[in-house]
Amino acid sequence: MQKTIVSLAALAAVGAAGFFYLTRPQPFDTDAMNGLVGDAEKGELVFHASGCASCHMAPGTEDEEMAKILKGGLKFASEFGTFYAPNISPDPEQGIGSWSALDLANAMLRGVDTAGEHLYPAFPYASYRNTTLQDVADLYAYMMTLPADQTPSVPHELSFPFNLRFTLGAWKLMFVTDKWVVDGDLNESEQRGRYLVEVLGHCGECHTPRNVLGGMKRGDWLAGGIDPTGLVEFPALTPDKFTWSETDIAYYLRSGFTPDYDSVGGEMVHVVDNYSHLTNSDREAVAAYLMRVPAAN
């Protein structure tokens, strides 16, 4: 009996060690960005495509220049608790001014902070996972040109067990992947659109339904979603439900006007503002990609 107990305890210890090893934070190697030089001008386009200001500007900000002061503070309620967007301005103490481009890559692509801990997926690293490291270098170069702000970040308000960061490693194993959702024979424009929609634009974070653990149901990609409060429904963007033409979509992303002559509202105001800064070819690429998205299961 005693030997059985000892054996079971040993197996449990081995299992626990294996779990913590597989779910540990996994940042990039320290030389991952060696030789990459950031271009701030290109980084500004990455900044807009990624929607950085939409989440990290101060609550109530409407002026475009003020939106570049990334002091954070926007509140995001969910069934897991309330998340607050942090200060990501270049302030070295309260923001990310002491970060390197590699630190930014670890946060965006690996969901790991500078302390080596898991970040919560309210920051959409599950989508940013396939961002190119050159784009990260360019984005970093641009962000370091923005105004610094000394406003402290607001701590998240999460209930047990969601306040235990080590559990996020298991969440990543289940729901974070390098695989593209829409794969196959895509032309150059469709591939660019895929990168903008699936990665930088993180469109699936709102427009894809989620399971009980908050993971996106990739089999129902862009089939419509509900915001974390359960109060707002995001429409489906699959071609069987979303019947706009490619021209309609590209024009909407530039102007904010729908084919029915209605104007953009809600959170999409920020998205259209961001995409209006991109090129016509980028907006056309998004439209071309959306035509290749399969119907939901």
Q: Which of 189, 220, 180 is nearest to 288 (CA)?
A: 189
Which residue from 80, 254, 41 is spatially nearest to 158, judged by alpha carbons?
80
Would you state the pLDDT for residue 1?
A: 55
Residues comprising the chain, all counted: 297
Q: What is the pLDDT of residue 229?
A: 64
Closest by CA to 184, choosing from 289, 295, 297, is 289
Q: How far apart are CA 138 and CA 128, in angstroms?
A: 15
What 3-state DSSP class applies to 54?
A: helix
Q: Give the model's pLDDT for residue 7.
A: 44
pLDDT the model gives residue 226 = 82
Token representation of residue 36: 């990459």
Q: Tokens 């923001």 sit at which residue?
A: 95
297 residues of the chain, pLDDT tens digit each = 555 554 444 444 444 455 455 678 999 999 999 999 999 999 999 999 999 999 999 988 888 888 899 999 999 988 889 999 999 999 999 999 999 999 999 999 999 999 999 999 999 999 999 999 999 999 999 999 999 999 999 999 998 888 889 899 999 999 999 999 999 899 999 999 999 999 999 999 999 999 989 999 999 999 998 876 666 789 999 999 999 999 999 999 999 999 988 888 888 899 999 999 999 999 999 999 999 999 877
**Residue 153, CB half-sphere, CA atoms under 13 Å: how many?**
19
The pLDDT value recorded for residue 175 is: 96
Residue 233, CB-side half-sphere exposure with 13 Å CA sphere: 4
Q: Compute the Cα dihedral for 174, 179, 181, 183 and give only its sign.
A: negative
Closest CA to 111 of 101, 121, 102: 121
**Which pLDDT score, from 0 to 100, does residue 159 have?**
86
Partners of 225 in the beta sheet?
234
Cα–Cα–Cα angle for 219, 222, 224, rounded to 5 degrees: 105
pTM: 0.91
- The Cα–Cα gap between 23 and 40 comes to 35
In the chain, where are the structural domains located? 30-175, 188-290
